[in-house]
């Protein structure tokens, strides 16, 4: 019955890793998927995560029972505090419902399905460009996806005018997806002033903010600074959705730990929203896994471990910033034509290089450098050892 089934293409991001794994060259470098690597090019398990796991293993009272549909209660409470701030009035007034989901993707999907069922406006505007999975997640959740201008290739910065025009022209009441910080793939964020203008415009048109927060602590190294955009929207008392991921900032990629929070106008509404979220989750995956959420909760509720986490997080963010400088310097040294200052101006895990798909294909074929075809490179995958190789490849790609 499946003899006519077509071969599906590989995922544009995760497929890069598939191709990388097949390459036998000792020179190969994977700058595709956004996953942190050490200077030695190895995946990193944070020390504080190892400690938390040890505590969990040694605790004989722990059992493997099902979690509630909404997940681990402690984890949910602590996650809401982490993103909205410990003194958030929305939390104090119990206007927030938080449910544990399967990392960022699962949180976006659950939020999308809830909106498709219960919100009066099914259109969601996503930035152009955005993470490749966003349009697929929201389309399959039952929403209708449109885009707003975000990036200006000529300045390699924000197209703020275009963004304001598109949100002004958006269907009133529509949902707007916003990257909380460290925009993926461009590494370009609005300034605080620009966020304030976006907030005022969106509130005046009744546009519903849906934040994707996958890099809290990774953009500036400060968890509070990286949540500022979200907190500005919550501070005005309006509704707000936020999807959180612990993949990058705690290095819990494969544990699939994340949370969806919905800020409502009253505690009563939040309770009813939560009851409906349970109806979305139960037939999808019943209830979430326990291990990763327990690691996060252990770290977030212990001030010593929390401090250790912030230090390890800052060290990861700093290493990425130093990779930016090293790559920029290496291109300057080679006299590579073009303005490469965006490498040090953009923030977060990625640099949107401006290289086109032919140049990317050339670099993969000739230099065994793997990256997404839109020219995005994961700075977290670079090391002092691989910077010269990448700089050579870019130099030849743009001069030949």
Binding status of residue 184 toward ligand LMR by CB under 6 A: yes
Minimum distance from residue 245 beta carbon to ligand LMR (Å): 8
Distance in Å, CB of 310 to ligand LMR, minimum: 22
379 binds ligand LMR (CB under 6 A): no
Q: Give the footprint of ligand LMR on residues 329-348 (CB under 6 A).
A: none
- Nearer to ligand LMR among residue 28 and residue 95 (C-beta): 28
- Identify the CA nearest to 178 among candidates 139, 125, 223: 125
- By CB under 6 A, residue 13 contacts ligand LMR: yes
Cis peptide before 129 (omega within 30 of 0): yes
- Under rule CB under 6 A, residue 327 binds ligand LMR: no
Alpha helices in the chain (DSSP H): 14-22, 47-58, 73-84, 89-92, 103-118, 133-141, 160-168, 192-204, 228-235, 267-285, 291-301, 303-334, 342-345, 357-367, 387-399
* 133 versus 287: smaller Cβ distance to ligand LMR: 133
Of residues 136, 138, 94, 84, the one with CA closest to residue 115 = 138
Closer residue to ligand LMR, CB minimum distance, 33 or 208: 33
Asked if 106 touches ligand LMR (CB under 6 A), the answer is no
Q: Which of residues 153-172 bind ligand LMR (CB under 6 A)?
A: none
Determine if 33 is a binding residue for ligand LMR (CB under 6 A): yes
> Nearest approach, Cβ of 115 to ligand LMR (angstroms)?
21
Is residue 131 a contact residue for ligand LMR (CB under 6 A)? yes
d(CA 184, CA 385): 25
- 34 binds ligand LMR per the rule CB under 6 A: yes
Report in angstroms how near the CB of residue 34 gets to ligand LMR at its nearest: 3
| Closest residue to ligand LMR, based on beta-carbon distance | 34
- Which residue lies nearer to ligand LMR by CB, 131 or 233? 131
Q: Report the 3 state secondary structure along 217-279.
A: CCCCCCCCHHHHHHHHHHHCCCCEEEEEECCCCCCCHHHCEEEEEEECCCHHHHHHHHHHHHH
36 binds ligand LMR (CB under 6 A): no
Q: Does 98 bind ligand LMR (CB under 6 A)?
A: no
Total interface residues for ligand LMR by CB under 6 A:
6
Q: How far apart are CA 107 and CA 123, in angstroms?
A: 18
Q: In the bound complex, what is the minimum distance in angstroms from residue 189's beta carbon to ligand LMR? A: 16
Task: Give the Cα separation of 366 and 31 in Å (integer).
Answer: 15
How far is the CA of 214 from the CAs of 11, 103, 107, 367, in angstroms? 19, 9, 11, 30
Tokens linked to 235: 């501070």
Tell me, residue by residue from 259 to 298, as one string, x for binding to ligand LMR by CB under 6 A and - for no binding: ----------------------------------------
Q: Is 187 in the site for ligand LMR (CB under 6 A)?
A: no
Distance CA 330, CA 328 (A): 5
- Residue 273: asked if its preceding bond is cis (omega within 30°), the reply is no
Q: What amino acid positions are annotated as catalytic residues?
A: 131, 212, 248
CA-nearest of 258, 200, 207 to 232 is 200
**Residues in contact with ligand LMR by the rule CB under 6 A:** 13, 33-34, 131, 133, 184
């Amino acid at each position: 019955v499946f003899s006519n089934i077509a071969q599906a293409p590989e995922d544009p991001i995760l497929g890069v890793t598939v191709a990388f794994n097949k390459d036998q060259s000792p020179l190969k470098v994977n700058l595709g998927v956004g996953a942190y690597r050490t200077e030695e090019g190895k995946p990193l398990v944070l020390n504080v995560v190892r400690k938390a796991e040890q505590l969990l293993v040694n605790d004989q009272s722990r059992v493997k029972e099902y979690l509630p549909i909404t997940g681990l209660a402690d984890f949910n409470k602590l996650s809401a505090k982490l993103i909205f701030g410990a003194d958030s009035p929305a939390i104090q007034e119990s206007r927030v419902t938080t449910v544990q989901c399967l990392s960022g993707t699962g949180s976006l999907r659950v939020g999308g399905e809830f909106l498709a069922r219960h919100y009066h406006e099914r259109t969601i505007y996503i930035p152009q460009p955005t993470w490749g999975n966003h349009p697929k997640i929201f389309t399959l959740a039952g929403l209708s996806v449109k885009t707003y201008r975000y990036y200006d290739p000529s300045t390699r910065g924000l197209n703020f005018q275009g963004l304001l025009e598109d949100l002004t022209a958006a269907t009133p009441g529509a949902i707007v997806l916003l990257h909380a910080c460290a925009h993926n793939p461009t590494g370009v964020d609005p300034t605080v002033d620009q966020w304030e203008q976006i907030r005022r415009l969106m509130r005046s048109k009744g546009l519903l903010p849906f934040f994707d927060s996958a890099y809290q602590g990774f953009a500036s190294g400060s968890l509070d600074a990286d949540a500022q955009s979200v907190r500005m929207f919550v501070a005005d008392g309006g509704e707000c959705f936020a999807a959180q991921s612990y993949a990058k900032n705690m290095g819990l990629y494969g544990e699939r730990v994340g949370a969806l929070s919905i800020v409502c106008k009253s505690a009563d509404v939040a309770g009813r929203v939560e009851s409906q979220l349970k109806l979305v989750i139960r037939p999808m995956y019943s209830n979430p896994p326990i291990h990763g959420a327990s690691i996060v909760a252990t770290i977030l509720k212990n001030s010593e471990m929390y401090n250790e986490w912030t230090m390890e997080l800052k060290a990861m963010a700093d290493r990425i910033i130093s990779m930016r400088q090293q790559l920029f310097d290496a291109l300057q040294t080679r006299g590579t034509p073009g303005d490469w200052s965006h490498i040090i101006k953009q923030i977060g895990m990625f640099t949107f290089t401006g290289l086109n798909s032919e140049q990317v294909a050339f670099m993969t074929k000739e230099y065994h450098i793997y990256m997404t075809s839109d020219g995005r490179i994961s700075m977290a995958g670079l090391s002092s050892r691989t910077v010269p190789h990448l700089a050579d490849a870019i130099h030849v790609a743009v001069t030949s």
